[in-house]
Structure 1
């Protein structure tokens, strides 16, 4: 007996609805550039997304304080890498609880060298953009991929331990035109006189030297020097918008920075500047190469939720 018209119509309607909702889910997965609009419905904006994420991030900060009370009860008493059966490490207090409203993707090689970036498509739409990279170490897949994806970008690289970019840029004449390198170190103070070796520059001094007022993408991997360098940069821009769109940072929580209290204060200074972590991964390559060590290294990516840059500008499209 042929199916009744009402049944056929019902099946057709269900099929259309299933297709619609599947399309909605896959088009607006977190990380898609239009996710914040589609998720919150028509008329909702990027600023609303950021406000909602900031509320959720505040809850994560509260959770951090509760974890400190549990294992402290103050941050002075928290042991970064406990050895008496406690189930945490320092990284469990500082989770990437902020969700980037744009596509998040790994840029550069898999393994050591690649970084997680937020909203590269938006950055790449700009006529001009600025990339700073500290810590090259002969591997430039991250920077070369950024330059290929964003033709309006130029990159400034610094590393006193090598003489130039890695082969990914150095062997590509077209990319090398937009990539500038100096064998200098990033530090918390300026020490770059003629006889200084290596020559240390603060980030603020380098920006002034290069006539830059804003850095779209800032990568720092300088083996522990990030604490003094970023502290100096933050102080130079107190009570002003932090002049960085996003930060890819390897944190080395060891040596003098093992003390949880000092680390916590430093992390809070990043948050006070408007930086919010949206991604992290432990450096397992380091653990594998130096067996038996503590998990002292971790990669973090931060978005700056303030200012008027491509990642937070409501009008940018």
Structure 2
């Protein structure tokens, strides 16, 4: 006796279920009556998501960054209540350090990668793939210290890139560049100091960043690396104020750089004070610089135990102007 003859009702139920399943599949498939507008099953091809332009991503991320700024003010009121009352590196049970007020809340709209050696010397970069495709890209490196893995890695990736290095404590770039003729030919080294004013006859000779750009015939720096043991505060102040003074009233300052890799040394008597550091940092922000990455210098903390963690690497991108990191039409 057949299964249908033994269980007619159960057989009819199975047939109905099969029919309903086929009907649902037909109605939800791309060729069905609703043109595929029914329920999306795992094996269906979903419509492609519209890609956002870089400008749109930056606008969205800037909105999030504004919220981080409001959170900074709330934290100042909690531990201050004014900036003058905040201890940068407290030692009485407070659960914060200076760096917790200045988190890298901005999101680079491109690939972020660490360039150079692991440990002290490497830097986190935004959109390097875009920069090295340029026919010509300009790198400035202040603070060479005989180790050039960061600079050499960029030169290797970008055949059109050249680097200008400045450090009065050494005589040349490190062997990562000097031992490779193809890289050494695109590297220019000078034993100068970066400072807030020009003093060409001092020992060592000192120049502002804007002066060095003029001497080299550059109107834009794609990658600016600064590691100058505390001189970064006044040097960057001078650079920003130079372009602020050239900006029309009520206009936005547009710095001629794409991104900044900066080691901050918050051990200076002036800038180790929270109020002064805050004013300096906010000047960077007003000029359009946004931090997208940070990395504490743990090598320093490990070698000199018992000190405050006052050396930290920050990576900033410039959200203003018209360059590879903020525009897609270049």
**The two structures share one fold, judged by TM-score above 0.5:** yes
Q: Say yes or no: does 1:207 pair with 2:210.
A: no
| Pairing of 1:4-153 with structure 2 (within 5 A) | 14=41, 16=43, 41-42=49-50, 44-153=52-161
2:279 pairs with one of 258, 265, 271? 265
- What secondary structure is seen at the aligned counterpart in 2 of 1:174? helix
Counterpart secondary structure, 1:267:
helix
Partner of 2:33: none
State the shift of 1:140 in Å: 0.1
- Could you tell me which of 257, 260, 268 is aligned with 1:255? 268
How many correspondences in the alignment?
Answer: 290
What TM-score does the superposition give when structure 2 sets the normalisation length?
0.84
Number of the residue aligned with 1:218: 224
Q: Give me the TM-score of the superposition, normalised by structure 1.
A: 0.87
CA distance in 1, matches of 2:308, 2:227: 19
Residue 306 of structure 2: SS of its match in structure 1? Answer: coil
Match of 2:11 in 1: none
Question: Mind listing any 5+ residue stretches in structure 1 that lack a counterpart?
Answer: 25-37
SS at match of 1:265: helix
| 1:228 matches 2:234 | yes
CA distance in 2, matches of 1:15, 1:255: 59
RMSD: 2.0
Structure 2 residue aligned with 1:178 = 186
Distance 1:294 1:312 in 2: 36
What SS does structure 1 have at the residue aligned with 2:326?
coil
State the alpha-carbon separation in 2 of the partners of residues 134 and 242 from structure 1.
18
Alignment equivalent of 1:294, drawn from 308, 321, 325: 308
Runs of 4 or more consecutive aligned structure 1 residues displaced over 3 Å after TM superposition = 4-7, 12-17
Match of 1:243 among 242, 248, 256: 256
Unmatched segments (≥5 aa) in structure 2? 1-17, 30-39, 248-252
Query: CA separation in 2, counterparts of 1:297 and 1:43?
Result: 38
Q: Which has the larger radius of gyration?
A: 2
Deviation at 1:151, TM superposition (A): 1.1
Q: 2:8 is matched with which residue?
A: none
